[in-house]
């Protein structure tokens, strides 16, 4: 019995980042590891959106519909999609969308192009299905900038799906609009699916967010979430934009998993979508301030760290000059200095760490000061 259970669990690799967070998210004092902006409270949401206590009191906990409340889907379609609510499904964070997309569209032996490094869900689910992965590398030596020519070489008539996430977790690298177009063209040429994880799309430091590829290419699927740019990870709200035929496949799977979202989550999410700019503008401003603080800190610590300044999102993938075992360093930082940082081993890069700079500015300052101490005093070789 136990062996059977173990084997079935081992069908999918353990999620390294989530496991690290389980160990340290609640036991540290300062978080400079998470990849989202500072989180909002319900009281703040009352002020920033039109949500009222009376509306919450009126909720009856009916079932919701499989794809989500229609008015909510309409609001999402207008802001992030092509205006058609039939192409929107709301999900429990974009994690659920990821799971549904891969399991709904992939089969064993399919060839799938993924980024490296990459948020693990975006390749481990495909791997667990038995797909053949081809890795599109983002290299530190090239400032983690995606090389479109390389992607074009990897995409062949055998490619079933290309999965990308820009701005990128953990590096903050992104594409230009021209590069995005070239990528869409390359995927369209072979008729593969393009999965566009837009978790960080709304925080960019120059220009405007990249458009949703669904506007140009029918076989693309994109995901969004309130967990990263909107400071609401605990709401567990996300969405998936895809053709009605693809959404039907996802509902088929959802019928065995989560069925639908809670009307409580849908109501709050609806008000947030309607006033999304109110939340975003505050956090974007804070992200800019924090990025400048981080940038000065990196300059002052050049002897110890190297980086590529992020183009979007609120995390960066620092390279540690003297430390090859980032995991030992991050354990030390968490246990001794009570600071949460994510070791690069969660992304298969052991001499890097993921640093999140989206939190409260006072926390970032305190976290960086404790990080300096660990780098300069404790780990100087």
CB-CB contact of 111 with 159 (8 Å): yes
Residue with Cβ nearer ligand PLP (146 or 238): 238
Residue with Cβ nearer ligand PLP (168 or 301): 168
∠ CA(226), CA(210), CA(83), 5° rounding?
Answer: 70
Residues that bind ligand PLP (CB under 6 A): 35, 93-95, 119, 165, 169, 197, 199, 225, 227, 233, 238
Residue with Cβ nearer ligand PLP (69 or 95): 95
Minimum CB distance to ligand PLP, residue 53 (Å): 26
Q: Which bin fits 231, alpha (ψ -120 to 50), beta or left (φ > 0)?
A: left
Q: Please give the structure tokens belonging to residue 26.
A: 């609640």
Minimum CB distance to ligand PLP, residue 112 (Å): 16
Residue with Cβ nearer ligand PLP (24 or 119): 119
CB-CB contact of 268 with 72 (8 Å): no
Read off φ and ψ for residue 212, nearest 5 degrees.
-70, 125
Minimum CB distance to ligand PLP, residue 36 (Å): 8
**b/e string for 331-367 if b means 16 or more Cβ within 10 A?**
eebbeebebbbbbbbbbebbbbbbbbbbbbeebbebb
Minimum CB distance to ligand PLP, residue 92 (Å): 7
Residue with Cβ nearer ligand PLP (48 or 195): 195
Residue with Cβ nearer ligand PLP (95 or 311): 95
Tokens 């479109």 sit at which residue?
Answer: 148
Distance CA 250, CA 284 (A): 33
Q: Which residue is nearest to ligand PLP (CB)?
A: 93
Minimum CB distance to ligand PLP, residue 153 (Å): 24
Q: Would you call the peptide bond into 170 cis, given omega within 30 degrees of 0 as the criterion?
A: yes
Residue with Cβ nearer ligand PLP (94 or 220): 94
Residue with Cβ nearer ligand PLP (99 or 297): 99
Minimum CB distance to ligand PLP, residue 35 (Å): 5
Minimum CB distance to ligand PLP, residue 301 (Å): 25
Minimum CB distance to ligand PLP, residue 236 (Å): 7
Residue with Cβ nearer ligand PLP (209 or 373): 209
Minimum CB distance to ligand PLP, residue 328 (Å): 23
């Amino acid at each position: 019995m136990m062996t059977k259970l173990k084997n079935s669990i081992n069908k999918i690799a353990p999620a390294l980042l989530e496991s690290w967070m389980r160990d340290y998210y609640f036991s540290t004092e300062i978080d400079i590891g998470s990849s989202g902006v500072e989180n909002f409270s319900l009281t703040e949401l009352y002020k920033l959106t039109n949500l009222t206590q009376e509306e919450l009191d009126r909720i009856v906990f009916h079932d919701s519909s499989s794809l989500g409340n229609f008015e909510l889907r309409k609001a999402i379609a207008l802001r992030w999609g092509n205006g058609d609510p039939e192409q929107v499904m709301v999900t429990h964070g974009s994690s659920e969308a990821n799971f549904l997309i891969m399991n709904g569209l992939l089969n064993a032996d399919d060839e799938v192009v993924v980024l490296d490094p990459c948020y693990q869900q975006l390749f481990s689910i495909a791997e667990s299905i038995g797909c053949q992965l081809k890795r599109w590398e983002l290299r530190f030596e090239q400032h983690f900038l995606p090389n479109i020519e390389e992607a074009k070489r990897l995409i062949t008539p055998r490619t079933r799906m290309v999965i990308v996430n820009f701005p990128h977790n953990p590096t903050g690298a992104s594409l230009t609009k021209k590069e995005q177009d070239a990528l869409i063209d390359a995927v369209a040429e072979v008729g593969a699916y393009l999965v566009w994880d837009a978790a960080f799309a709304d925080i960019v430091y120059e220009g405007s967010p990249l458009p949703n590829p669904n506007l140009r290419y029918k076989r693309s699927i994109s995901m969004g979430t309130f967990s990263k740019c909107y400071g609401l990870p605990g709401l567990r709200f996300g969405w998936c934009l895809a053709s009605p035929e693809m959404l039907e496949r996802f509902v088929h799977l959802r019928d065995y998993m989560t069925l639908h979202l809670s009307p409580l989550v849908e109501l709050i999410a609806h008000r947030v979508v309607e006033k999304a700019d109110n939340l975003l503008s505050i956090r974007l401003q804070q992200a800019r301030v924090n990025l400048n603080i981080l940038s000065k800190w990196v300059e002052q610590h050049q002897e110890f760290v190297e980086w590529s300044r992020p183009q979007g999102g609120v995390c960066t993938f620092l390279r540690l000059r003297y430390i090859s075992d980032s995991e030992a360093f991050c354990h030390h930082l968490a246990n001794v200095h009570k600071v949460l940082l994510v070791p690069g081993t969660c992304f298969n890069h052991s001499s890097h760490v993921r640093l999140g700079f989206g939190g409260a500015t006072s926390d970032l300052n305190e976290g960086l000061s404790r990080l300096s101490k660990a780098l300069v005093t404790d780990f100087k070789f």
